[in-house]
Structure 1
Amino acid sequence: MRIIKATDQSRNEIINLLKSNNLPAGDLPEVLDEFYTALDGQRIVGLIGMERYSHYGLLRSMVVHPEYRNKQIAKKLVQLLEQKAASSGIITMYLLTETAEKYFIRNNYQLITRKEVPEALFRSSEFSHVCPVSATVMKKELQRQFTTVVQ
């Protein structure tokens, strides 16, 4: 198992993975610069991404193929994304979820209200129209956790 930056060539496979897990795919950014894929051979079995809004990150599209769950893939994807985000100046990671609240609580994310989210994130498709108002909002402070620069 290895994790690499997502590529434009893998876009269709990424979209298929998202759709097959009932996650939105239509609003993926054109450039997948801050998205990472977990590979088993050449097969994409996991994905995570981030949208950047100044010093804030919006974690999105975290998914692991059902056949590969409970193998620490999600944990490795989240850790890598958080390390890359922190080393690039992101101080707080935010997310919206309808299904993974308990998972993210175990990974030190805190429940917050929409009123606590920075204004810049409300311009994202996730906040403006993709995720329902009933979705759980969470955040995690990154700079306190990651003090070394990850290359």
Structure 2
Amino acid sequence: HWQTLFEQEFLRCKRYEDTASVIMMDIDHFKQVNDTYGHQIGDRAIQLIADIILGSQRETDACGRYGGEEFVILLPKTSLNDAVLVAERLRKQIEETLLPLGKEYNDEQLKLTVSAGVAEFSNEFSIAENWLEKADAALYESKEKGRNQVSK
């Protein structure tokens, strides 16, 4: 489970003064997708983004869902700048991948975007949750600035 790995990575970084980063990613206007197309399309949107994330991760990375349409990606031994590059690459790939809606929507395709927040491990964090809070604050900044972007 990603939460266990996250907690272990937090303790490892604290003990060995190592670096790691975390990305929090949220599907933009997800409620609107659900309200417009229904939960089945919403579920397919989540699956599509999960597949893109899983398809791009390294063996040492961990990812999982954090709430409804939010994802957490743990990048061990990854600096903040490198993690921002990873998040930006994922954001762009998601934006370029269209979700087919099927016959009932005249084979239309839905363009999805994500907002992301990136935080690097810091010894100032007293608990692992602080690390997630920092990434979440950066994610909130991406949303405030208009969505479909990465903040740190």
Decide which structure has greater strand share.
Answer: 1
Greater relative contact order (CA < 8 Å, ≥ 6 in sequence) = 2
Provide TM-score, normalisation by structure 2: 0.32
Structure with greater Cα Rg: 2
Q: TM-score, normalised by structure 1?
A: 0.32
Q: Name the one with the larger helix percent.
A: 2
